Structure 1
Amino acid sequence: MTLDTPELAHVLLALCLLLAAAHGCGYAMSRLRQPRVIGEIVGGLLLGPTVLGAVAPGAGSALFPPSGAVPAVLDAIYQLGLLFLMFTAGAEMRGFFHRRERRALTWISVVGMLLPFAAGLAVVGALPLQGLHGAAATDGAFVLVFGIAVAITSIPVISRIMLDLGILDTSFARIVLGVAVVEDVVLYILFAVALGLVAQDPGDSWGLPAILGIGSSGTASVAYHVVAELGFLGAMMAAGPWLYRKLSHRYNPVRRGNHIGFELVFVLSLSMIAMWLGVVPLLGAFVAGLVVSTSTGIGATRARESIKAFSFAFFIPVYFATVGLRLDLLREFSLVFFVPFFLFACVVKSMSVYAGARLGGEAPSTSRNLAVALNARGGPGIVLASVAFDARIISASFYSSLVMLAVLTSLIAGSWLGRIVRSGHPIREVADDRLGQDPPAASAG
């Protein structure tokens, strides 16, 4: 598709508005000591049917039409934003596991993930929730998405909150991020399986599943996608670092030409390979981040930081602003459903994390802080909502509810932890450390 001059001007105008709204509202939220991602979504919300579309319907549809060059270009940037968000999340996941927190991390990961997931499965199996299904949803795919929505937690948002509060280098932060890593890896695999179960048109079949003649439903499909997700993740975690080192050889002309370009080729290639295997590309990008994080060379580190900087300046704000742009809280948001769903998800997740923390030997106050922090759905919750909605697993109404759940739980976590830090009370009850940092080692003699 070639854009003529008016179409290109329209695309540039739409991008300028989205970026300006995302960064402006993100800055406003950061000044309020809230996650920037919330402001980026609000920026899209202001330009979408919820605000601009309600005040000036003609202007909203003219700026962001449902068809043509603008939605096509925005969708491409939106998809790339999702891939680079997953890549940066994977690249940030090293250094969160310490033996000193192993007991608490294990108990919270198991109890805090399995109980909410099981509770979500029980609820979706007991209540008539057909109105929440998307057009292409199978029962298995929808049930998995509902369970994941209750159990998922956020790495990017909660890490940004703790960075802004100056507690990212504490034992409390290591527990939170360690648990989030374990939970998100497991739940992303389950989500990838759910996406593999979505009913597809025969013409959409592609890659290895099409070659093997595997459909989008049935026992064979479930078995294939479970094996494919686990096999891809296991193979890349085992051989990925070796492969990356080999590809990073000094005789590689791509790497020698531009290290940033080399890492971009790596993440996009892994995403494409994942798609060919029937694995969702977001898992490929996530694994690419995990793999490249094993390289600690100056060139690799600078390349990752450069990709991260530009992604958070362009691709990722457009992604989150587009999430807000798609929300129609006036027509496609049911408060009657959302309130009990919000209370159920928060209570089940928080109580499960609290129970896991207590079983892991944490004090009651620390357990409460962990329960609130790990209740934040943030970026992963929004990714779950947007990808499930794009795959037509969930309805527009449920999509709106999942995004609002992610936004509100992130706001609650930021406000709670900020209040604890400003009060001077220990965020984790560890001797001689008001902010939860590990106590200094005793000197010999």
Structure 2
Amino acid sequence: MKAAARGKNPDREAVPPPRRRTAERGRDVAAAVALLAVIAVGMVHAVPTFGKLGNLGHGGWVLVPRFLLAVVVIIAVGRLGGWVAARCRQPRVIGEMAAGIALGPTLLGQFAPAVQHALFPADLVPELGLIAQLAIIYFVFLLGTDLPLDLLRGSGGRVAALGAGMVVVPLGCGLLLAAGLLADYRPAGVGPVPFLLFVGTAMSITAFPVLVRILAEHDLIRTRIGTLGLATAGAGDALSWCLLVVVVALAHGGSAAAVVPTAAWLVLFTAVTLTVVRPALRRFLAIGEHSAGGRRIAIAVLVLCALAGAAVTDWIGIHAIFGALLVGAVVPRENGVVRDLGRTVGRGVALVLPLFFAVIGFSMRIGFLGDLRDLLLCGLMVLVAVASKVGTTTLVGRLTRLTWRESLGLGVMVNCRGLTELVVVSTGLSLGIIGPDLFVMFVAMTLVTTAMTGPLLGRLKLGGTPADTRPVAGVI
């Protein structure tokens, strides 16, 4: 009896003290207020954005069926291109890129201009571009949720050296290449500094999501070298995105002094996202993941949060993709709702991504590459891109005591540019930092460097011990 009397009442222990309950309720209220504010921003941006599709009705709704037909044709051709690429042991994105380019003036417009104009009249391009822009915002948001931050937190000197090397040396080579292009390829009204930095930054990009797909196809995701490759690509991409923010701010501001307000707003937005939005999302998603209805609501909230982040950075004066990337990076990855994003939002994005490639194709005219000088410059750009990425990463890998095969394999991995590069150069084109001619060269470089990744990895035969049983120093 005495023992029972001295024992603690489990029912009483299960009830938290009043102060703790009050604190928890206060945190829940704060989280709700923060998320409501974010959702309000997303809704304010979403309503006029989707309202632009109403412009299709200005033609007496004649454009609506033509718009739907164009969407169906683009998606069907893109899926066909992806299937052909997969049959050729290439990433599907390669086929989707090529299909989008083929639907533009480069191929279809060259051999069947009447068909091209009938299927994709100029009146439809702005609406198609709107859907493509939304697809890219959510692609970058999902990219943020997939960045290997856990690997970066546990990484050491090797990943830091590899990540810095794969960015700094291609950046430097890009600056030297751009210095020779200033006179002939810099658009009017663009300062030399933004142009130089943009070309250098575009040379340093790695396509993390495409790399994940390629490594999975070659059974390298769970190997020690595959894990190291993902950590290196994540570290390098984080640095490249930071550089791109600076370039875009400079392009908008025109001088270093004019960039200060933009940088201040960006720092404030980042601080609010980390200190307010992140904990609010963590608490909300922890509640919502326990029921089917809660999961659907949580996914809708995440979709609006991504759009809100894009709206804020667009208002700040940098591109909308940076806000979506930051919101994606702070989403709690351990939550089941976030893991469901790939099966819901991710599938929708993958379905409409061919629209992005088609819109790129509509603005491309590769005929100018018939000029010998432009062809030589395009070849030089591909050579510099490959040599700077592969060569630097291979040498740094050897200096950090990897084998020659592993080092070369890492170089081949980070040389993959894919869709991320297209997003970056499309941003530069839309902001007027580069012109259509240089844009086409970057697209050609992207296709070549992405297409060579899979076959070279296959020839190197890098499969080995799983990463969880044989850790690489500096990664795990």
TM-score category by the smaller chain?
Answer: 0.7 to 0.9
User: Is 1:71–2:111 an aligned residue pair?
Assistant: no
Q: What percent identity do the matched residue pairs reach? A: 23
Matches within 5 A, 1:69-218: 70-94=124-148, 97=151, 102-125=156-179, 127-198=180-251, 216-218=253-255
Return the alpha-carbon distance in structure 1 between the equivalents of residues 288 and 382 of structure 2.
Answer: 54
Assess if the C-alpha contact under 8 Å between 2:262 and 2:316 holds in 1. Answer: no
Return the alpha-carbon distance in structure 1 between the equivalents of residues 432 and 399 of structure 2.
Answer: 39
Return the alpha-carbon distance in structure 2 between the equivalents of residues 8 and 275 of structure 1.
Answer: 29
Equivalence for 1:438: 467
Return the alpha-carbon distance in structure 1 between the equivalents of residues 359 and 309 of structure 2.
Answer: 25
Return the alpha-carbon distance in structure 2 between the equivalents of residues 185 and 401 of structure 1.
Answer: 24
Cα distance, 1:162 vs structure 2: 0.7
Assess if the C-alpha contact under 8 Å between 2:174 and 2:199 holds in 1. Answer: yes
Structure 1's unaligned 5+ residue stretches are: 200-215, 422-426, 428-433
Cα distance, 1:257 vs structure 2: 6.4
Cα distance, 1:324 vs structure 2: 3.1
Return the alpha-carbon distance in structure 1 between the equivalents of residues 101 and 407 of structure 2.
Answer: 35
Cα distance, 1:79 vs structure 2: 0.7
Cα distance, 1:182 vs structure 2: 1.6
Amino acid at match of 2:247: A
Return the alpha-carbon distance in structure 2 between the equivalents of residues 439 and 8 of structure 1.
Answer: 53
Assess if the C-alpha contact under 8 Å between 1:112 and 1:356 holds in 2. Answer: no
User: Is 1:259–2:298 an aligned residue pair?
Assistant: yes
Return the alpha-carbon distance in structure 2 between the equivalents of residues 131 and 375 of structure 1.
Answer: 27
Equivalence for 2:28: none
**Structure 2 CA distance for partners of 1:78 and 1:397, relative to 1, 3 Å:** same
Return the alpha-carbon distance in structure 2 between the equivalents of residues 283 and 30 of structure 1.
Answer: 31
User: Is 1:302–2:356 an aligned residue pair?
Assistant: no
Q: 1:282 aligns with which of 317, 321, 326?
A: 321
Equivalence for 2:312: 273
Assess if the C-alpha contact under 8 Å between 2:224 and 2:470 holds in 1. Answer: no
Larger Rg: 2
Return the alpha-carbon distance in structure 1 between the equivalents of residues 294 and 258 of structure 2.
Answer: 38
User: Is 1:396–2:460 an aligned residue pair?
Assistant: no
User: Is 1:14–2:70 an aligned residue pair?
Assistant: yes
Q: 1:243 aligns with which of 269, 276, 280?
A: 280
User: Which deviates more, 169-178 or 77-86?
Assistant: 169-178
Return the alpha-carbon distance in structure 2 between the equivalents of residues 16 and 120 of structure 1.
Answer: 39
**Structure 2 CA distance for partners of 1:225 and 1:414, relative to 1, 3 Å:** farther
Report the 3-state secondary structure (helix = DSSP H, G, I; strand = E; otherwise coil) of the residue aligned with 2:464.
Answer: coil
**Structure 2 CA distance for partners of 1:99 and 1:59, relative to 1, 3 Å:** closer
Cα distance, 1:359 vs structure 2: 2.1
Assess if the C-alpha contact under 8 Å between 1:271 and 1:284 holds in 2. Answer: yes
Assess if the C-alpha contact under 8 Å between 2:170 and 2:388 holds in 1. Answer: yes
Once superposed, what is the RMSD of the aligned Cα atoms?
A: 2.6
Structure 2's unaligned 5+ residue stretches are: 1-54, 472-476
- As a proportion of its length, which structure holds more helix? 2
Assess if the C-alpha contact under 8 Å between 2:75 and 2:354 holds in 1. Answer: yes
- Note the alpha carbon deviations across 1:269-294, whole angstroms, 9 max, x for none: 111122222232101111121122x1
Assess if the C-alpha contact under 8 Å between 1:29 and 1:39 holds in 2. Answer: yes
Equivalence for 2:89: 33
Cα distance, 1:230 vs structure 2: 4.8
**Structure 2 CA distance for partners of 1:288 and 1:128, relative to 1, 3 Å:** closer
**Structure 2 CA distance for partners of 1:31 and 1:381, relative to 1, 3 Å:** same
Cα distance, 1:330 vs structure 2: 1.8
Amino acid at match of 1:107: A
**Structure 2 CA distance for partners of 1:165 and 1:287, relative to 1, 3 Å:** same
**Structure 2 CA distance for partners of 1:321 and 1:176, relative to 1, 3 Å:** farther
Assess if the C-alpha contact under 8 Å between 2:96 and 2:357 holds in 1. Answer: yes
Return the alpha-carbon distance in structure 2 between the equivalents of residues 277 and 98 of structure 1.
Answer: 28
Cα distance, 1:384 vs structure 2: 1.3
Equivalence for 1:431: none
- Note the alpha carbon deviations across 1:324-381, whole angstroms, 9 max, x for none: 3432212367312101121122112221111221222211111111111111111221
Return the alpha-carbon distance in structure 1 between the equivalents of residues 211 and 470 of structure 2.
Answer: 28
Equivalence for 1:47: 103
Report the 3-state secondary structure (helix = DSSP H, G, I; strand = E; otherwise coil) of the residue aligned with 1:345.
Answer: helix
Cα distance, 1:301 vs structure 2: 2.5
Assess if the C-alpha contact under 8 Å between 2:224 and 2:464 holds in 1. Answer: no
Amino acid at match of 1:270: G
Cα distance, 1:227 vs structure 2: 4.2
Return the alpha-carbon distance in structure 2 between the equivalents of residues 268 and 439 of structure 1.
Answer: 37
Assess if the C-alpha contact under 8 Å between 1:259 and 1:303 holds in 2. Answer: no
- Note the alpha carbon deviations across 1:157-215, whole angstroms, 9 max, x for none: 1111111112112221221111211221221122122222335xxxxxxxxxxxxxxxx
Cα distance, 1:223 vs structure 2: 3.0
Return the alpha-carbon distance in structure 2 between the equivalents of residues 100 and 297 of structure 1.
Answer: 20
Assess if the C-alpha contact under 8 Å between 1:154 and 1:378 holds in 2. Answer: yes
Assess if the C-alpha contact under 8 Å between 1:96 and 1:175 holds in 2. Answer: no
**Structure 2 CA distance for partners of 1:119 and 1:224, relative to 1, 3 Å:** farther
User: Is 1:329–2:397 an aligned residue pair?
Assistant: no
**Structure 2 CA distance for partners of 1:227 and 1:172, relative to 1, 3 Å:** farther
- Note the alpha carbon deviations across 1:80-127, whole angstroms, 9 max, x for none: 1110110111111136517886332121012221122122223323x2
**Structure 2 CA distance for partners of 1:179 and 1:306, relative to 1, 3 Å:** same
Count of aligned pairs = 409
Report the 3-state secondary structure (helix = DSSP H, G, I; strand = E; otherwise coil) of the residue aligned with 1:153.
Answer: coil
Return the alpha-carbon distance in structure 1 between the equivalents of residues 312 and 287 of structure 2.
Answer: 24
Equivalence for 1:62: 118
Cα distance, 1:307 vs structure 2: 0.8
Equivalence for 2:43: none
Amino acid at match of 2:143: A
